Amino acid sequence: MKAVLPHSLEFYPMQAADLDAVAQIEAGIQAFPWSRGNFADSLHAGYSAWVARLPDRLIGFSVVMQVLDEAHILTIGISSSLQGQGYGARLLQHAMHQVTTHGARRLLLEVRPSNARAVALYRNFGFQQIGVRKGYYPATEGREDGLVFQKELA
């Protein structure tokens, strides 16, 4: 079977019809996932919400809130079976391009310290850690900190 390369990935604005697939991916990659309702609320609020598709299926999503020249990645994810193949990098590039096109000069996000793959991806893209939000994320036992990263956009 021939592998599908990241260049076949396409991006579309998230629609209500995508919510079940998006929530299913989220549930497969997060121990404490956003609900379908959280994604629906993001659409209703007008956030920059996108899906990533291969020719045969939806494989990822991003939701970014932008206020004036600052944007904040609220959630971003790629189906667990396709992680580590370059799709997450392409999705992150797309999110950065979208907010830059709409005037953002700075991009922020939080990430769990235990999510080493995501931390490495953000660092690879030039994000700098600027802080820690103590007990930011729910965890199996108690809470987990959130590392705050930022990137200045050109």
Catalytically active residues, by annotation: 110, 122
- Say which DSSP state 56 is in: T
Instruction: Please calculate the CA angle 144-91-73 and round it to the nearest 5 degrees.
Output: 45
- Say which DSSP state 115 is in: -
Residue 141 burial (10 A CB sphere; 0-12, 13-18, 19+)? exposed
Strands 106-111, 70-78: pairing is: parallel
How many angstroms separate the CA atoms of 2 and 49, rounded? 30
